[in-house]
Chain A
Amino acid sequence: MSFDVESLSSETVVVHMGEALDFRNADSFKSTFQAHVEDGVRNFILDFSETEVLDSTGLGSIFSLYREISPDDGKVAFADVSRPVQVVVQLTRTYKVFRQFPSVQAAKEALA
């Protein structure tokens, strides 16, 4: 499964996460962000509006993205976080690491 990526600028993209980010497509997510990191993208807005499943492996792949871009002052922002994703975010206190925005539009404006 590939991820739908919307380019906002040379440095910023929105990744529409779809229904699930779990151990079955975490590698696909990593390949997706890796290609954009190599192209110079440093800011990733993750759209979780349709996401019903975020499991530990999926979250681990987001941590991997963060570790890769944070030395270059890159940012990972969560947008329109669905309730199932919010449960995982709170359990893991991930909100301390990733800024959350109520909508993709709000994230775009903040990271522009």
Chain B
Amino acid sequence: MSTLAKEYTDLDRALDEVRSVLKEWYNEQAPSSSPSSETLRYTQLVLHEWIANLLQHGDFGHRTPAIEIRLKTENRHVACAVIDNSTGFDFDERLPSRDEVMDELPERGMGLRIINACTDTVSYLPTDSGYYRFEFSIPADHDPWLSMLF
């Protein structure tokens, strides 16, 4: 099992760094246990969409925004958590249901759907310590084509 932990108080910087950090981490993995390059790309995309979501819509009150990214891989499976100090929101309420028809070629509202399509399990819940925890997993054999956007 390999783990990665990074903390940021500058979400803009986090957005720029996360790809290079993930690539560096990926290159250090033993080939036999390393996630596939496709799984890594889904992970990058989900993290980008999530951090972008926090940057655009997160309510941090008077606090300096802070996130901690924890990522681990075992047997080519990826599990990731992003803990933040925002006031959170109801993820399940915001996530459109899979059978909800989208507008044709929408300009907004695709981010959570992309996250959902790229992941096997996903949640955003408060923690006992007063933070919010976004958690997702991507198995080695994940097939996003089962939950296409359109």
Interface residue ranges, A against B (CB under 8 Å): 22-23, 52-53, 55-57, 59-61, 63-64, 66-67, 83-84, 87-88, 90-93, 96-97
Contacts and interface: CB of A to CB of B under 8 A. Distances in A.
A87 B148 contact: no
A91 B41 CA distance: 12
B105 A67 contact: yes
A91 B117 contact: yes
A87 B110 contact: no
Interface stretch (B42-50, B68-76, B88-96): B42-50
Contacts of B19: 52-53
Contacts of B149: 91-93
A91 B52 contact: no
A59 B52 contact: no
Given A64-B107, A93-B150, 5 more contacts: A23-B55, A56-B114, A60-B106, A84-B44, A97-B105
A55 B111 contact: yes
Given A91-B118, A92-B150, A56 B41 contact: no
A53 B55 CA distance: 16
15 contacts: A22-B52, A23-B56, A52-B19, A55-B111, A56-B109, A56-B110, A56-B113, A63-B105, A63-B106, A84-B41, A84-B45, A88-B114, A91-B114, A92-B150, A93-B149
A88 B117 CA distance: 11
Contacts of B48: 22, 53, 55
Nearest to B19: A52
The secondary structure that dominates the A interface is helix
Q: Which of B42, B145, B150 has the most CB of A within 10 A?
A: B150
Q: Which of A59, A93, A97 has the most CB of B within 10 A?
A: A59
Q: Which of A22, A56, A92, A96 has the most CB of B within 10 A?
A: A56
A94 B55 CA distance: 26
Nearest to A84: B41
B56 A88 contact: no
B144 interface: yes
Contacts of A88: 45, 114
B13 interface: no
Contacts of B44: 84
A92 B22 CA distance: 24
Given A91-B144, A92-B149, A23 B52 contact: yes
B47 to A, nearest CB: 11
